[in-house]
């Protein structure tokens, strides 16, 4: 089993892992010849299934596996991966490969940085102090948490610039094909409303304030709202006329924010199993008849209730700056498609899919 | 009667300004609101030991329409202005809902980690942003239909409109702490920051009481005492250095006077001390403390005198025999 690639877009990869890390500790990573898939399925809350085209983050990608379709399945702890990528922020080159040390499978990240000042070997010395990866213990991850760095210094030709190579080892687990067979992307009925979301940073800042409002105006003395199930619920609605509404109702206030003039992307008949006829009977076609573009009408809204803090964590994907389409299944679920990278025609586009189930009122 | 015009419609061009003022009195969750033809008065209280109020004069709003409620019966009684209670925390959070969205703020915060595409997206939604059109930040509208209806706040910014309906509660009490303006035992005006420094200085020992002592010889001292000891900060109008401006603008004290207060109550005014430029500190014959803060508002294109607002605090003194007897001369630290 072999895997080796050079990372071509460290910033995107870092932001991507940062977004995943808000939802869970462990990612199931599936590598094959077509794409790279990262899936996070936390015990509670939102799942994310992402499919990255290889060239979104990697180049010179080599994979060799005995498993069918040349596939490698790994269980990767996200926090150590994120830390390793962080140390690669100013790298001139970074490579990742699957390896084994003392029988422990590792993802080994080799980072080359250029130090301009030749007097002090900065960079390499500082990393050893960061080994205390305390959160790993809680992962249920049984391999010993070794997180090693080795450095080798190669003097540049002029003696002024110096190349520093840092190796970060991330202990992982290789998953047998049988163990991931049972994992399937959630299925959902056709959505009632699909709409392009406004800037996620803006949406997140308003959502976070709503969550804060819900917590600060809570009158009940119920304690133990540490589990996400009992946190404040925000109501999110969309219609087929470019309106998105976020609202919160408590005893002491009712607040709602309304976005108008958003885009409802057209459905592609070729993507529908029944073609044009399928589109005509699509729930969103019916929803188009209801409501209006000012968002004042009470008709035509598809609504879901999300847990405020979980929703805020989902929205942190805004840092990737992609186009986000939200699909509302009324009173049932919300699916977010986050499209990143890719060219104008949508070829080589990567997509992150978030499945958020709705709470009952 | 069903089609009465709304009792109040007030538009402010700066939610930030209102936020600044209302934050001064946000030491409790509930606030009493009184609407009149002249403006909106927000007040908060702590037990009946302290109350604070801020009056949002109608000149602070770009438009202010008040329709007096119809008299309850045919007689010509002057109807009482509506009074109700709201959750102040909720109001402040609502006014601040776009607080993080100030484009300049957002840019500074995100700095380098924001890539160009995201910036483009942000700007696209901000094409008509307040900065582009040089408009003041955060237009918000207050409206109130009448007794039993919620107080609605409507805000619009960056292509998003937010509406908040605050449930109005019946006001529990409308009693105010009486302050006798005609028999003042002490009146002085100082910089709010001086008072803030004093309170910060004294609070380090988490004292229980604060005593204000003033003598006609232009001397005022603040003494805090608690289980850990006591400390005093003295102010005087007799500035040794004639070049520096006097620390007390006005000083009026007919005879030696002294009053003690719960330290925590005075400390609750700290936010007001931080926002205000000047404070008028008064004690009446009964020892009730009145702190009136002058807050300068950053208003562009307004006539002189309109860019200020007042935030008032009144604190009931502790009964005699507590926190008395500190000399004020020895061991004091002079400030100038």
Question: What is chain B's pLDDT, residue by residue, as a tens digit (336 residues)?
Answer: 445 678 899 998 888 888 889 999 988 888 999 998 899 999 999 888 899 999 998 888 989 998 877 665 555 556 677 889 999 988 988 888 876 544 444 343 333 333 444 444 444 444 443 333 334 457 889 999 888 889 999 988 777 889 999 999 888 776 788 888 888 899 999 889 989 999 999 988 888 999 999 988 868 899 998 888 889 998 877 666 555 666 777 888 888 899 999 999 999 999 999 999 999 999 998 889 999 999 988 765 554 456 788 999 999 998 765 444 443 333 333 333
| B8-101+137-170: CATH number | 3.70.10.10
Mean pLDDT confidence for A71-80:
92
CA angle (B126 as vertex; B121, B131 as ends), nearest 5: 140
Give the number of other CB atoms < 10 A from CB of residue A103.
6
Put simply, whether B250 touches A (Cβ < 8 Å) is no
| Structure tokens belonging to residue A355 | 């499945």
CA distance, residue B118 to nearest chain A CA (Å): 5
| Structure tokens belonging to residue A132 | 């205390």
- In this prediction, residue B294 carries a pLDDT of 93
Q: For residue A98, what are the β-bridge partners? A: A107
- In this prediction, residue B306 carries a pLDDT of 61
Put simply, whether A2 touches B (Cβ < 8 Å) is no
CA distance, residue B183 to nearest chain A CA (Å): 42
A117 pLDDT band (50/70/90 cuts)? Answer: low
| B184-334: CATH number | 3.70.10.10
Do the beta carbons of residue B94 and residue B138 sit within 8 Å?
no
- In this prediction, residue A127 carries a pLDDT of 43
| Dist. CA B201–CA B235, nearest whole Å | 14
A142 pLDDT band (50/70/90 cuts)? Answer: very low
| Dist. CA B127–CA A210, nearest whole Å | 25
CA distance, residue A241 to nearest chain B CA (Å): 15
Q: Using CA coordinates, name the residue in chain B closest to A212.
A: B93
- In this prediction, residue A327 carries a pLDDT of 93
Do the beta carbons of residue B334 and residue B72 sit within 8 Å?
no
Put simply, whether A251 touches B (Cβ < 8 Å) is yes
Do the beta carbons of residue B261 and residue B318 sit within 8 Å?
yes
How far CA A312 is from CA of A182, A191, A234, B162, B204, in Å, comes to: 29, 22, 11, 18, 38
- In this prediction, residue A255 carries a pLDDT of 92
Mean pLDDT confidence for A8-32:
90
Contacts of B71 (CB under 8 A, 6+ apart): B77, B78, B79
Rounded to the nearest 5°, which phi and psi values hold at B230? Answer: -140, 160
Enumerate domains of chain A plus CATH numbers.
2-181 (3.70.10.10), 193-218+229-357 (3.70.10.10)
- In this prediction, residue A90 carries a pLDDT of 84
Do the beta carbons of residue B169 and residue B85 sit within 8 Å?
yes
Interface test with B, best of A214, A252, A254, A263 (most B CBs within 10 A): A252
One-character DSSP codes across A276-323: HHHHHTSHHHHHHTS--TTS-SSSS-EEEEEEHHHHHHHHGGGGG--E
- In this prediction, residue B296 carries a pLDDT of 87
**What single-letter DSSP state applies at residue A263?**
-
| Structure tokens belonging to residue B146 | 């009448």
Q: Which of B210, B332, B335, B194 is closest to B268 using CA atoms?
A: B210
For A280-314, write each residue's pLDDT tens digit.
778 888 888 888 888 888 888 999 999 998 999 99
B163 chain-A contacts, CB cut-off 8 A:
255-258
Do the beta carbons of residue B54 and residue B91 sit within 8 Å?
no
A199 chain-B contacts, CB cut-off 8 A:
118, 121-122, 125
State the sign of the Cα–Cα–Cα–Cα dihedral A59, A63, A68, A73.
negative
CA distance, residue B53 to nearest chain A CA (Å): 21
DSSP SS3 for A353: strand
| Dist. CA A57–CA B182, nearest whole Å | 77
**Cα diameter, chain A:** 72
Whether A206 and B86 lie within 8 Å, measured CB to CB: no
Put simply, whether B114 touches A (Cβ < 8 Å) is yes
Q: Which of A123-127, A348-352, B189-193 has the highest mean pLDDT?
A: B189-193
B122 chain-A contacts, CB cut-off 8 A:
199, 201-202
The mean predicted confidence, pLDDT, of chain A is 80
| Structure tokens belonging to residue B73 | 């019966």
- Which alpha helices (H) appear in chain B, and where do they start and end? 15-23, 88-95, 103-110, 116-125, 192-203, 263-267, 270-275
Q: Which of B220, B210, B209 is closest to B187 using CA atoms?
A: B220
Q: Using CA coordinates, name the residue in chain A closest to B164.
A: A255
Chain centroid to CA A134: 23
Whether B165 and A253 lie within 8 Å, measured CB to CB: yes
Q: Quick check: ipTM above 0.90?
A: no
Residue written as tokens 């119920």? A222
Do the beta carbons of residue B312 and residue B53 sit within 8 Å?
yes
Crossing angle for the helix pair B15-23 and B88-95, nearest 10 degrees?
A: 150
Whether A258 and B97 lie within 8 Å, measured CB to CB: no
Sheet with B248-252, edge to edge strand ranges:
B169-170, B83-87, B30-35, B39-46, B50-57, B308-315, B289-296, B278-284, B184-191, B248-252
- In this prediction, residue B4 carries a pLDDT of 65
With residue A79 as reference, give the H or E element that holds it. Answer: helix A78-86
DSSP SS3 for A259: strand
Whether A254 and B150 lie within 8 Å, measured CB to CB: yes
DSSP SS3 for A86: helix
pLDDT value at A125 more than 60? no
Whether A252 and B115 lie within 8 Å, measured CB to CB: no
| Dist. CA A299–CA B262, nearest whole Å | 56
CA angle (A299 as vertex; A294, A305 as ends), nearest 5: 95
CA distance, residue A7 to nearest chain B CA (Å): 18
pLDDT value at A6 more than 80? yes
A337 pLDDT band (50/70/90 cuts)? Answer: very high
Whether B158 and A202 lie within 8 Å, measured CB to CB: yes
| Dist. CA B220–CA A159, nearest whole Å | 70
Query: Are β-strands B257-262 and B139-144 bridged in parallel, bridged antiparallel, or unpaired?
Result: unpaired
For B194-230, write each residue's pLDDT tens digit.
899 999 999 888 889 999 999 888 688 999 988 888 8
| Dist. CA A337–CA A317, nearest whole Å | 11
CA distance, residue A207 to nearest chain B CA (Å): 9
- In this prediction, residue A347 carries a pLDDT of 56
Do the beta carbons of residue B326 and residue B232 sit within 8 Å?
yes
- The proportion of chain B whose per-residue pLDDT surpasses 70, expressed as a percent, equals 73
Which residues of chain B form CATH 3.70.10.10?
A: 8-101+137-170, 184-334
Q: Using CA coordinates, name the residue in chain A closest to B151.
A: A253
Query: Are β-strands B248-252 and B184-191 bridged in parallel, bridged antiparallel, or unpaired?
Result: antiparallel
Q: What is the CA radius of gyration of chain B?
A: 23
Residue written as tokens 């029944």? A274
Contacts of B9 (CB under 8 A, 6+ apart): B63, B64, B65, B141, B142, B143
Whether A258 and B160 lie within 8 Å, measured CB to CB: yes
Interface test with A, best of B113, B164, B170 (most A CBs within 10 A): B164
């Amino acid at each position: 089993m072999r895997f080796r690639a050079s990372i071509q877009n460290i910033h995107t990869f870092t932001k991507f892992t940062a977004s995943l890390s808000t939802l869970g500790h462990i990612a199931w990573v599936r590598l094959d010849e077509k794409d790279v898939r990262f899936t996070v399925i936390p015990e509670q809350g939102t799942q994310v299934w992402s499919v990255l085209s290889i060239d979104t983050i990697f180049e010179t990608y080599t994979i060799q596996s005995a498993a069918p379709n040349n596939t490698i399945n790994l269980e990767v702890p996200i926090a150590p991966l994120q830390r390793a990528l962080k140390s690669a922020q100013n790298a001139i080159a970074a490579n990742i490969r699957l390896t084994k040390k003392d029988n422990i499978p590792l993802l080994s990240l080799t980072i080359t940085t250029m130090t301009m000042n030749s007097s002090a070997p900065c960079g390499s010395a500082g990393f050893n102090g960061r080994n205390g990866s305390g959160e790993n213990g809680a992962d249920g991850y049984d391999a010993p948490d070794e997180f090693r760095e080795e450095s080798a210094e190669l003097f540049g030709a002029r003696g002024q610039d110096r190349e520093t190579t840092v190796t970060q080892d991330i202990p992982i687990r290789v998953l047998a094909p049988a163990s991931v067979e049972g994992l399937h992307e959630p299925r959902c009925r056709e959505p009632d409303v699909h709409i392009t979301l406004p800037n996620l940073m803006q949406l997140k800042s308003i959502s976070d304030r709503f969550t804060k409002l819900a917590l600060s105006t809570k009158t009940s003395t119920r304690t133990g709202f540490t589990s996400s199930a009992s946190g404040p619920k925000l109501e999110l609605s969309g219609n087929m006329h470019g309106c998105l509404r976020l609202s919160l109702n408590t005893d002491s206030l009712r607040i709602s924010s309304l976005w108008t003039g958003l885009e409802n992307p057209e459905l592609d008949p070729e993507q529908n199993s029944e073609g044009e006829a399928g589109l005509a009977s699509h729930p969103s076609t019916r929803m188009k008849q209801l409501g209006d573009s000012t968002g004042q009408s009470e008709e035509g809204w598809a609504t879901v209730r999300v847990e405020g803090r979980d929703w805020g964590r989902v929205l942190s994907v805004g840092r990737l700056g992609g186009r986000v389409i939200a699909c509302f299944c009324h009173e049932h679920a919300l699916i977010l498609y986050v499209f990143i990278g890719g060219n104008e025609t949508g070829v080589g586009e990567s997509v992150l899919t978030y499945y958020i189930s709705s709470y009952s009122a | 009667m069903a089609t009465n015009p709304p009792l109040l419609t007030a538009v402010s061009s700066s939610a930030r300004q209102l936020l600044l003022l209302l934050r001064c009195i946000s030491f409790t969750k509930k606030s009493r609101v009184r609407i009149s033809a002249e403006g909106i008065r927000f007040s908060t209280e702590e037990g009946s030991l302290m109350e604070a109020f801020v009056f949002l004069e109608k000149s602070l709003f770009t438009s202010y329409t008040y329709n007096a409620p119809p008299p309850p019966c045919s007689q010509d009684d002057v109807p009482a202005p509506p009074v109700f209670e709201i959750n102040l925390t909720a109001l402040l959070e609502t006014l601040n809902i776009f607080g993080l969205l100030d484009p300049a703020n957002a840019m500074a915060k995100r700095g380098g980690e924001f890539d160009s595409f995201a910036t483009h997206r942000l700007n696209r939604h901000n094409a008509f942003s307040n900065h582009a059109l040089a408009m003041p930040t955060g237009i918000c509208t207050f409206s109130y239909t009448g007794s039993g209806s919620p107080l609605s706040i409507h805000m619009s910014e960056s292509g998003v409109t937010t509406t908040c309906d605050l449930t109005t509660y019946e006001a529990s009490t409308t009693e105010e702490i009486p302050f006798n303006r005609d028999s003042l035992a002490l009146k002085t005006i100082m910089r709010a920051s001086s008072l803030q420094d004093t309170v910060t200085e004294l609070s380090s020992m988490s004292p229980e009481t604060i005593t204000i002592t003033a003598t006609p010889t232009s001397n005022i001292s603040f003494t805090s005492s608690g289980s850990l000891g006591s400390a005093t900060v003295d102010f005087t109008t007799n500035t040794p250095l004639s070049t520096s401006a006097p620390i007390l603008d006005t000083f009026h004290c007919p005879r030696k006077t002294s009053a003690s207060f719960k330290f925590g109550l005075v400390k609750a005014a700290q936010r007001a001390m931080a926002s205000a430029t000047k404070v008028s500190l008064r004690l009446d014959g009964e020892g009730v403390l009145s702190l009136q803060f002058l807050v300068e508002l950053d208003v562009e294109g307004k006539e002189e005198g309109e860019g200020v607002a007042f935030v008032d605090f009144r604190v009931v003194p502790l009964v005699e025999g507590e926190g008395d007897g500190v000399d004020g001369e020895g061991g004091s630290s002079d400030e100038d």
